[in-house]
Chains A and B, each alone.
With several copies, the nearest count.
Chain A
Amino acid sequence: MNIRDQTLHESDPLMLYGTAMRSRLLLGTAGYPSPAILADAVTAADAGVVTVSLRRETAGGKTGARFLDLINGLGVKVLPNTAGCRTAREAITTAEMARELFGTPWIKLEVIANDDTLQPDVFGLVEAADVLTRDGFQVFPYTTDDLSVAERLQRAGCEIIMPWAAPIGTARGIVNRAGLESLRAYFPSVTLIVDAGIGAPSHAAAAMELGYDAVLLNTAVAKAADPAVMAAAFAAAVKAGRLGFEAGLMPPRDMAMPSTPVAGTPFFDLEPKS
């Protein structure tokens, strides 16, 4: 549909630290039934960026190399994460290893407060973001919807902030809508990406309708009965939400209002006779 093409593709690409992306959907690579299905999903999602991580290699292992070949074959940009890190120190070292392995200054910065809740540790996050930015990294911080934390991340040099919709993997959708709205209002020029908690295409569309610049998700696609079709669903949802935002949504109303005009209704001035 060339209206969408115009609107989304030419008129305003997503900017990630100076790189223009055609797609506003970032996809995680974890938890797919098979590498082939992962590849299909990335294609169907029309994703421009995929997230990856680092894990310990067993002696003599070649798993990592094989995975890297798969990813490189997809023709997308790679965003390594620091998943599982519990301190700024761990996250910084992981980021440095990732930069060497993947040859990119991009890092999805995760510092978690504890392994049960996977809640971001906002103190460790800001500390690591500050160190990494000085060291030349381009940081994508995974954070909560806390405005005071977002301010510190921005001061630390983050041009992108990635608040959660809900805790990782809960698939609950936007829990604190007002919080995300005030982040958007407060940081009109920061690239805001909703990360984590998205369980359904409608959740992704809702985030984009709030004026968020992109959506990053993984579980909802990887764990779907048919990941490739679900990836296509989210691709359409992100476009739908973005178009809705650009087209100017009407606000909810308290009173019911007729869509069909009342003036000229047949029988209108006569008494109803049941």
Chain B
Amino acid sequence: MIDLIVNGRVLATAAKTVGELVAMQDYVGGKIATAVNGHFVPVGRRATTLLNPGDQVEIVTPRQGG
């Protein structure tokens, strides 16, 4: 188990990659994009992007905007 900061909140998880994190968080059906420590992680690289304790993960989705 490691501690991450996901969307600004601390989360303890067993996920070792961004892909696992997304799966565990049940985003699969959703339409999302991801970034780790301020850098974009394309969908194709989620499975190979390892997570380290303290990593800041952003998981975002389409919303209204001006």
Q: Do chains A and B touch in the complex (CB under 8 A)?
A: yes
Contacting B at CB under 8 A, from A132-186, are 168
Is A30 a contact partner of B60 (Cβ separation < 8 A)?
no
B63: A residues at CB distance < 8 A: 52-55, 63-64, 67, 261, 264
B50: A residues at CB distance < 8 A: none
Minimum C-beta distance from A260 to chain B (A): 4
Scan A27-42; emit 1 where CB is below 8 A from any B CB, else 0: 0111110000010000
Of B8, B32, B58, B64, the contact of A53 (CB 8 Å cutoff): B64
Is A54 a contact partner of B29 (Cβ separation < 8 A)?
no
* Residue count of chain A within 8 Å CB distance of chain B: 51
Q: How far is the CA of A67 from the CA of B29 in the complex (A)?
A: 14
Q: 25 A-B pairs, CB-CB below 8 angstroms?
A: A28-B64, A29-B66, A52-B64, A52-B65, A53-B64, A53-B65, A55-B61, A56-B59, A57-B7, A60-B25, A60-B30, A61-B27, A62-B30, A64-B30, A64-B31, A64-B60, A64-B61, A67-B63, A71-B62, A83-B66, A97-B60, A101-B33, A258-B66, A268-B8, A273-B38
Chain B positions within 8 Å of A, measured between CB atoms, are 7-8, 25-27, 29-35, 38-40, 42-43, 56, 58-66
Chain A positions within 8 Å of B, measured between CB atoms, are 28-32, 38, 51-65, 67-68, 71, 80-81, 83, 89-90, 93-94, 96-98, 100-102, 168, 218-219, 258-261, 264, 266-270, 273
